């Protein structure tokens, strides 16, 4: 039988007659794994991949199969053929002759390409991603292998390609449902719908193909900041029709209107001072919302969560879903707000602070935290005192507490003041010792010769450490008789120098020193003081802190550029 068919094919299609871009009928001569061998009357058999056949299990040796000739003979002498392209070529003619733009055909989605999907409607057609559904699909893979009806939106006969749409058919069907529903519904009806989209101002709900807007003000009797706090996409809801615009095909919906307003008689149900129970349903940076009943939420502000802990965010104390007790401390029915407190269910430990830490008491604690302006010392759990940078040292100008402390250090201090209402304790460290500047003019008189070590170099002079941890400044004009261009060429950190006190300012805590005047007689020294005062009269005697600020360097690493 096969021999007879082959003879007939050879007679009708001699080898020399095989042409590229033509469709011929061949005979299946063998099925080998994922390939089907087909004889088309050429020098050798062609091979077609098994996936090109819709019913590969029904293939049999001897079956007649239409194939498309891509190349009668490749470099190895074998024909390059395709069954799928034969069907495409055959079906293209049928579609062009019988279909037009707007026609509807069934098809199966067979593959994914850039920008969309390939649909087999007899021939391969392109389905853009934007035309798959009314909403952008999350993943194209979910459609592979699915069969739908498709509308032909464009046929390009020259390029032999077709663009189809599924979205247009869905929209046409929805439009028909919308018109029917608009004629049926009335204000006051309660209808079931599905949340389709969520925006900042409301929720769009699909009611049997008709989109209605549920405005944020109509979602809940309780105040919400965003619709996503109450609903999510895909959620089913029963809503009330509260407005209809047939011309614009718009419907306004209400969710809270389907329930009684829970804020009626709220003061009676939750009087101020009462203890209430609820569930944490939402958290924001400033506090936690507690649902007391459906539609009624109270806010526990972070400042009302603990007497002793410094709560930075509510998640440090509670979690969503926690069942908690709280105290009602305020109600505003008009604004639909209830203020709650966790800490006021307990005794305030700050009520005992004045007794436990009286002003003037010596205390000891651990450095818990530091800022630019001071260090926080933990006196007991939840009770901190703050040492301001100005209360660390009598003699040093501190720009940052990290110059003296590190976290975890144990330090002694004196209680300077207490503000229990604001929960603040001011501490001082320098107050543990006598201020050396209180008797500075007795110990450091103008004209006294002193010895000290250079601690810092600046363009305008050098700082020298004296007794009692006091520093003096040798102005650049007071180093040598000759003019000094660069201080670091004459003095270095660590040098021990002998100098004479040329100026003392107790109020400003400044001591001016002079090396060159160390050996002057009284007359020459007085003249130098006048000359120095005249120089300084035209420029402010800069404080140590200002000097460092201007240089913008650390206290222990100031050197001339």
Exposure string over 262-274, b if 16+ CB within 10 A, otherwise e: bbeebeeebeeee
CA separation for the pair 340, 332 (Å, rounded): 12
Q: Which CATH architecture has domain 437-551?
A: Beta Barrel (2.40)
- Residue 358 is given by DSSP the state -
The owner of tokens 């107050």 is 431
Cβ proximity of 221 and 259 under 8 Å: yes
User: Which H or E element spans position 5?
Assistant: helix 2-12
The candidate with the shortest Cα–Cα distance to 511, out of 477, 474, 547, is 474
C-alpha angle with apex 71: 69 to 75, nearest 5 degrees? 145
Q: What's 266-345's CATH class? A: mainly beta
Report how far Cα 402 is from the mean position of its chain's Cα atoms.
31
Strand 337-341 and strand 296-301: the pairing is parallel
pLDDT one digit per residue (tens) for the chain, 561 residues: 444 544 554 454 444 467 887 888 889 888 888 888 888 887 888 888 888 787 777 788 888 888 888 888 888 888 888 888 888 788 888 888 788 888 898 989 989 999 999 998 888 899 999 999 988 888 888 999 899 999 999 988 888 889 999 999 988 888 888 788 888 888 989 999 999 999 999 999 988 878 899 999 999 876 688 999 899 999 999 999 999 888 877 899 999 988 888 888 899 999 999 999 999 999 999 999 999 998 889 999 999 999 878 899 999 999 999 999 999 999 998 888 999 999 999 888 888 888 888 999 999 999 999 999 999 999 887 788 999 998 998 877 788 898 888 999 999 999 999 988 888 999 999 888 888 787 777 788 888 899 999 989 999 999 998 887 888 899 998 988 888 889 998 899 999 999 998 998 888 888 899 998 888 888 888 888 888 877 654 444 444 434 444 443 333 333 333
The candidate with the shortest Cα–Cα distance to 149, out of 172, 176, 130, is 172
Exposure string over 136-146, b if 16+ CB within 10 A, otherwise e: eeeebeebeee
Could you tell me the fold of the domain covering 2-87? OB fold (Dihydrolipoamide Acetyltransferase, E2P) (2.40.50)
Q: Report the predicted TM-score, pTM, of the whole model to 2 decimal places.
A: 0.39
The candidate with the shortest Cα–Cα distance to 284, out of 270, 302, 297, is 302
C-alpha angle with apex 303: 298 to 304, nearest 5 degrees? 50
Count Cβ atoms within 10 A of the Cβ of residue 125 and give its class: 0-12 exposed, 13-18 middle, 19 or more buried: buried
Q: Which CATH architecture has domain 185-258?
A: Beta Barrel (2.40)
- Residue 320 is given by DSSP the state T
Candidate CATH numbers 3.40.50.150, 2.40.50.140, 2.170.130.10, 1.25.40.10; the one for domain 349-432: 2.40.50.140
- Residue 166 is given by DSSP the state S
Boundaries of every domain in the chain: 2-87, 99-169, 185-258, 266-345, 349-432, 437-551
Count Cβ atoms within 10 A of the Cβ of residue 307 and give its class: 0-12 exposed, 13-18 middle, 19 or more buried: middle
Tokens of 62: 């001897």
Name the superfamily (CATH) of residues 99-169.
Nucleic acid-binding proteins (2.40.50.140)
**One fold for 99-169 and 185-258:** yes
Q: Residues, the chain, total?
A: 561
């Amino acid at each position: 039988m096969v021999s007879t068919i082959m003879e007939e094919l050879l007679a009708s299609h001699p080898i020399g007659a095989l042409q590229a871009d033509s469709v011929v009928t061949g005979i299946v001569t063998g099925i080998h794994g994922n390939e089907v061998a087909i004889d088309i009357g050429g020098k050798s058999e062609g091979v077609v991949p098994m996936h090109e056949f819709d019913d590969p299990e029904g293939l049999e040796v001897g079956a007649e199969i239409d194939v498309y000739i891509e190349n009668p003979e490749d470099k190895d002498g074998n024909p390059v053929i395709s069954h799928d392209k034969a069907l495409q070529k055959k079906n293209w003619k049928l579609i062009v002759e019988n279909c037009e733009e707007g026609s509807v055909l069934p098809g199966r989605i067979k593959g994914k390409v850039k920008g969309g999907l390939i649909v087999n409607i007899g021939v391969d057609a392109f389905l853009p991603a934007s035309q798959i559904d009314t909403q952008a699909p999350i993943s194209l893979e979910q459609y592979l292998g699915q069969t739908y009806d498709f509308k032909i939106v464009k046929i390009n006969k020259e390029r032999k390609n077709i663009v189809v749409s599924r979205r247009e058919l869905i929209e046409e069907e929805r439009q028909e449902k919308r018109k029917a529903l608009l004629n049926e519904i009335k204000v006051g009806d309660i209808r079931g719908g599905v949340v389709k989209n969520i925006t900042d101002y409301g929720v769009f709900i699909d009611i049997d193909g008709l989109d209605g807007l549920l405005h944020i003000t109509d979602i809940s009797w309780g105040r919400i900041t965003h619709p996503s706090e109450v609903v999510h996409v895909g959620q089913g809801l029963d809503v009330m029709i509260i407005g209809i615009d047939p011309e614009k095909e718009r419907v306004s919906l209400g969710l809270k209107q389907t329930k009684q307003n829970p804020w009626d008689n709220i003061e009676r149900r939750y009087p101020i001072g009462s203890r209430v129970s609820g569930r944490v349903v939402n958290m924001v940076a400033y506090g936690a919302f507690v649902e007391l009943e459906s539609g009624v939420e109270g806010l526990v502000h972070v400042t009302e969560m603990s007497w002793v802990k410094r709560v930075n965010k509510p998640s440090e104390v509670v979690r969503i879903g926690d069942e908690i007790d709280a105290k009602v401390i305020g109600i505003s029915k008009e604004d639909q707000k209830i203020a709650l407190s966790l800490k006021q269910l307990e005794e305030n430990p700050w009520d005992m602070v004045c007794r436990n830490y009286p002003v003037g008491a010596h205390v000891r604690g651990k450095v818990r935290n530091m800022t630019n302006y001071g260090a926080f010392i933990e006196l007991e759990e939840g009770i901190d005192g703050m040492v301001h940078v100005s209360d660390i040292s009598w003699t040093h100008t501190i720009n940052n507490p990290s110059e003296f402390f590190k976290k975890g250090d144990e330090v002694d201090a004196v209680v300077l003041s207490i503000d229990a209402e604001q929960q603040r304790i001011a501490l001082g460290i320098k107050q543990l010792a006598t201020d050396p500047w209180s008797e500075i003019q007795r110990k450091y008189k103008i004209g006294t010769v002193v010895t000290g070590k250079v601690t810092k170099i600046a363009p305008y002079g050098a700082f020298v450490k004296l007794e009692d941890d006091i520093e003096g400044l040798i102005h650049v004009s007071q180093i040598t008789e000759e003019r000094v261009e660069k201080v670091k060429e004459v003095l270095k950190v660590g040098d021990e120098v002998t100098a004479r006190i040329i100026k003392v300012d107790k109020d400003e805590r400044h001591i001016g020193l002079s090396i060159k005047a160390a050996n002057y007689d009284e007359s020459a020294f007085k003249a130098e003081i006048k000359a120095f005062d005249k120089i300084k009269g035209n420029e402010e005697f800069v404080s140590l802190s200002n000097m460092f600020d201007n240089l913008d360097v650390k206290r222990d690493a100031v050197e001339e550029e």
